[in-house]
Amino acid sequence: MISNQQHSNGVSAINRPFVALASNGNLDFIAFWRLISKYKWRILLLGLCTGLAAFLISMSIAPVYQATAVVLIESSKPQAITSIQDVYAGVTPTSEFFQTQAEILKSREVATSAIKKLKLWEHPGYDPRKVKAPIYRSVLNYFGISKTVVPEWDEDTLARTVYQSIAARNQINVDLIKGSQLVQVSFESTDRQVAADMANAIAEAFINSDRESRFAMTQQASAWVQDHIKGLRDTLDQSEARLQSYREKQGVISMDGSSGGGAAKMIEAVNQKLIDARLHLAEAQNTYEQIHGANPDALLSMPTIIQNPVIRDAHKQLQDAERNYSDLSQRYGPAHPKMIQAKDQLKIAKEQLAKSIDILVATAKHEFDVSQATERSLEQTLASAKGSVLVLNRKEIGLDALTREVATNRQLYDLFMSKSKENSATQDMQASVGRVVDPAQIPGNSIRPKTAMNVVLAAFLGLFLGVGITLLRAVLDNTLKNGADVENRLRQHLLAALPVLDKAARQNAGMVMQYEPHSQYAEGIRTIRTGVLLSALDQEKRVLLVTSSLQGEGKTTLASNLALAHAQTQKTLLIDADMRKPSVSSKLERDPTHLGLSDLIAGQATLSDVLQTMPETSLSLISAGTLPPNPLELLLSKRFLSLLAALKEQFEVIVIDSPPVELVSDALVLAPLCSSVIYVTRAQQTPIPLIKKCLARLSQSNCAVMGIVLNQALAKKQEDYEVLAKGKHGYGLYGMQGKLGKSKA
C-alpha cells in the first residue's frame, strides 16, 4: 500500500503538468514524457495503423504520370511580317506578355486542337461514350422525372467533352521558368504514352495556332492595303493638280522659301536691334530719373554715381582734403598759413566734385534722348519691313498648304505601295511566337501517389495524433487517479489508496479484515488506522465520521473494515447513521430488521436492545434500525447528542457511517459532533469539482477532515502512476497484484 511518506516524496510528479498548467503556469516536461512512455505501444500501434492505411490507399490508386515539354517564347515579332505599324506593334519582353502566352497555352482552343490531333477519345480512359450515367440519373429517367439526352458524337463534341474532363481534373499545367523565356507544358495521365503525346501536342498546337493567326492577320492587312491604294492614288492626283493651278494663278515660279528669306532676315535683325535699343533706353531713363533733381549728398549715395571713375576720384580728393583740414584744425588756428592753404584745397575739391556731377547729369540726359530717338527710328524701319513681307506671306501660306498636302499624299501612297509589295513577298515567311526546345519524353516514374512519402507522413501523423490524444485525455481527465491528485488538486492529506476487491472478496466486502487479514485491502485499512492513531496521540476518545460525495464510493465497506481494525486493539463501536439507505448490517452479515439508532433516539428501545456484538471480535454495532420519515430531525435532536456523549464514555473509538454529503445534509450535521472526518472517494469516477464542493460544505460546518481515502484504485493503473511518478526505482505498491512486490524489491 502507498504510505503517506511515499506520496510526499514526489509521487505528485506524474500529474503535476496538468495541475500546474492551470495553477501557476509551470510545465513538467519529464512527466509529459513519462506519460507518453506509458502509452508508447498504443501510440506506436496507431502510427503503424495509419501508415499501413496510407500504404493500402496509395496502392489502390492508379499511378499518375507527368510528361513535360519546354517551349521557348519569343519576346518580339520579326519586322519582315509588319504591314502597318499601328496594326503590328512591336512586343516588348514584359512579364505580362509571357503570362499572356502561358494562358494561351492553357486555353481551350489549344487543348482542343491537341485532342483532335491525337484523337484522344479513342483512348479507353478518355472515351466519353463509355462513361456510365450516375445511378440517380438512371432512377430519374426510369420514373420520367428527368430525361438524359444522348449527344450526337462528332469530332467537335468528343473533343469538347474530353477537354471538359481534362480541365476538371486539372491535368494541364503551364509553368513559367523564372528569369527566362522558357515555359514548361506538362500533362498528367495514368498512361505514360498519352502524357508525353499530349504535352508535345499542346506545345505544337500553340505554335501552329500562333502561326495561323499571324498569317490571317497578314492577309487581312494586305487586303486592306489594296483596297485603299486606289483611293490614295486619286487623292494624290487631285492635290498635285490644285498645286499647279495655284502657281499659275499667282504667278509664282518657285516658292521653296528663298523668296522671302531676305525680308525675313531683315525683320529679324531689326527686331533684335529694337529689343536692344529698348533695353538701353530703359537703363538710360532709369539713370536719368534717379539723378535728375537730386541734391549732391543724395547723388553720392547712388551706386550709378559713385561707381563713375571721375566721380570716384573727385570724391576721394574731397575726402582727403576734408581729412587734412580736420587734422590741421586741431593744431593751428584759422589764421595760420597752413590752415588757409588747406581751406583753399577743400574748396577746390568741392567745386571739382560738383562740376563732375553736373557733367554726369548732362551725359545721362543726352544718352536718354539718343535712346528715345533710336527706338523711334527702329520702330519705323520694322513697320516698313513688315508691310513689305505681308503680301508675300499671304501667297506663301496658300502655297505651303498645297505643297504639304501633296507631300503627305505622296508619302502615304508610297508607304502603302511598299507595304503591299512586302506582304506579297513575305506572305509565306511567317515566324511563330515560340518553338519547342525540349520535347516531352515518356516518363519513367509516377508523380502520384507518392507511396513512401504518404506512408511516412501518415505514420508521423498517427504518432502525433496518438501523443495528442494521450495528452488531451490526461488534461481533460477530471477525476482523481492517484494519491498525487489528492495532494495536488484537493490539497488534502491522503490516508490510503485502496485497491479494487476481487470477485471473491466482494461477497464479504464489509468483513475483509476478518476473512482476509493479509490481503492488500486489509493492509490499506491498517494504514488508515495507523493514520488515525497518529493524528492525535493525546486524544483518548475518537469519534470518526466516514462519508463520501455520492452513493457507491465504498464508504460503508471502509467504515465496517476500519471499525474491525480498531476493534483489534481498542474498544470500538460502529454506528450506521445512514437511516435512509442503511447497509452496514448487510455488510457485517447482521439482521437488517434489528432495532437500531432510530429506535434508540425515538425512545422505543434501550441501548442494550440495539447494541449488537460481532462474533470473534470486540466490535459493537448499532444498526440504522427502523427507517424513520425524518432522519435529519433525529440527528438534530438533543437525545442524539446525549446518546453520543454517553457512548463516548463506554467506547474508545466510535466509527459513524453517514449518508453522502452531496445527496443529503446528514453528514454536515454529524461532522461537527465528531473528532475527525474520513472522506472516501472513488478513483477515476468522482469529478474533482464535486469533491471540492463537498469538502467546502464540510469545512463550513466547522469540522476537521483528517484525510482522503482513494477507494477502488485499480492495481495496474496505480502501479503505472507510481512508476511514472518515482521512476523505475520506486517502492511501488506494497502487496498489490502478487508479483508487484517482488518486481519492486
CB atoms under 10 Å from CB of 727, counted, come to 12
pLDDT at 725: 41
DSSP character for 497? E
Mean residue pLDDT of the chain comes to: 78
Instruction: Say if residue 73's pLDDT is above 80.
Output: yes
pLDDT at 12: 38
C-alpha grid cell, residue 729: 526505482
pLDDT at 710: 92
Give 611's pLDDT tier (boundaries 50, 70, 90): very high
The helix (run of H) or strand (run of E) holding residue 119 is none
**Cα separation values, 661 from 78, 304, 491, 553, 559, Å:** 97, 119, 19, 12, 15
Give 432's pLDDT tier (boundaries 50, 70, 90): low
Strands 653-657 and 542-548: parallel
pLDDT at 372: 79
pLDDT at 421: 67
pLDDT at 90: 45
pLDDT at 596: 92
pLDDT at 300: 62
pLDDT at 379: 75
Instruction: Say if residue 537's pLDDT is above 80.
Output: no
Write the CB contacts of 471 (distance below 8 Å, at least 6 apart in sequence). 32, 35, 36
Q: Which of 12-16, 144-148, 478-482, 638-642 has the lowest mean pLDDT?
A: 12-16
Q: Which among 64-73, 304-313, 357-366, 501-510 has the top mean pLDDT?
A: 64-73
pLDDT at 76: 52
If you search the block for the grid coordinates 445511378, which residue do you land on? 135
pLDDT in tens, 450-481: 888 999 999 999 999 999 898 888 777 788 87
Q: What's the whole-number mean pLDDT along residues 685-713?
A: 89
Bridge partners for 70 per DSSP:
184, 438
CA angle at 534 for the pair 568 and 657, rounded to the nearest 5°? 60
Instruction: Say if residue 91's pLDDT is above 50.
Output: no
Percent of the chain with pLDDT over 70: 75
If you search the block for the grid coordinates 500553340, which residue do you land on? 206
Instruction: Say if residue 730's pLDDT is above 50.
Output: no
Query: Using CA atoms, how far apart are residues 368 and 498, in angstroms rounded to an integer?
Result: 132
pLDDT at 645: 92
Confirm whether pTM is higher than 0.85: no
Q: What's the whole-number mean pLDDT along residues 341-347?
A: 80
pLDDT in tens, 141-153: 666 665 555 567 8
pLDDT in tens, 544-560: 999 999 998 999 999 99
- The arrangement of strands across the sheet holding 619-622 comes to 494-499, 705-713, 676-682, 542-548, 653-657, 572-576, 619-622, 611-613
Instruction: Say if residue 679's pLDDT is above 60.
Output: yes
Give 297's pLDDT tier (boundaries 50, 70, 90): low
